[in-house]
Amino acid sequence: MREIAGLQEPRVRNYANYREDTMSRPRILVINPNSNTVVTRGLEQALKPLDFSDGPEIVCTTLAEGPYGIESQIDVDSVAIPLRRLVESDNSAAAFVIACYSDPGLHVCREGTDRPVFGIAECGVLTAMTRAETFGVIAIAQRSIRRHVRYLRQMGLMDRLAGERPLNMSVAETASGEGTLAKMIEVGRALRDQDGAGAVIMGCAGMARLRSPLEDALGIPVIDPTQAAATMALGAVQFSRH
């Protein structure tokens, strides 16, 4: 595992060709702001469908100095400046994705670069609104909901929110714990049937591995916000080249 400027990079496919590839392919850097590399590996798997041989390379990395899970406002605030330092010091990425549903440091990072910076919450919500009139959010914990609702209020989108319900699990549990999918299906059905959600957003990057089976179980669109953000980043980078 390679460490650069406070970052630990998990395994990257074809790492021997990494430097050669990045010379010819623009790079999108997806940053997991917590220090749990299991979450980062889940992001790598979730983003594989976007790895086109003639398109931008998508590289996932872990902020080693971040908390093990971003589960409170102090966790969110603690990673803002480290993320800004990373964005400012990286001269090779064509775009950045901050892979945490609280969008930590999003605006301060955008202030530090002229390259696009995408927050997964913002992108996930925008994507959900293209799939349904109303959406619901599966949060990791009850205390996350107040933070998410405040963000939606700032975006002026509260009228599109059907509801948000918690799993009452940790980030680590959602990424690798037993029974996570069953609990997400239970909460997702409540959002669909009781709250009237036409689409569901997974409100934590650690849930990325479960999007497809959750969508199959619910029968309505399920949005992985990291996939949504990476897709927007890919479009922005590709269109800037042509």
pLDDT of residue 242: 65
pLDDT confidence tier of residue 57, bands split at 50, 70 and 90: very high
Interatomic CA distance for residues 85 and 131, integer angstroms: 35
Neighbours of 121 (CB within 10 A): 26
Who's near 189: CB < 8 A, 6+ residues apart?
Answer: 218
- Residue pair 148/71 in contact (Cβ under 8 Å)? The answer is no
**Per-residue pLDDT reduced to its tens digit, 61-76:** 999 999 999 999 999 9
Can you tell me the distance from the alpha carbon of 236 to that of 62, in angstroms, rounded to the nearest whole number? 23
Cα distances from 195 to residues 130, 135, 152, 190, in angstroms, run: 19, 9, 17, 7
Please check the confidence at residue 11 and state whether its pLDDT lies above 50: no
- Contact (Cβ atoms closer than 8 angstroms) between residue 217 and residue 185: yes
List the domains of the chain with CATH numbers. 2-119+227-241 (3.40.50.1860), 122-223 (3.40.50.12500)
Maximum alpha-carbon separation in the chain: 52
Query: What's the predicted TM-score (pTM) here?
Result: 0.88
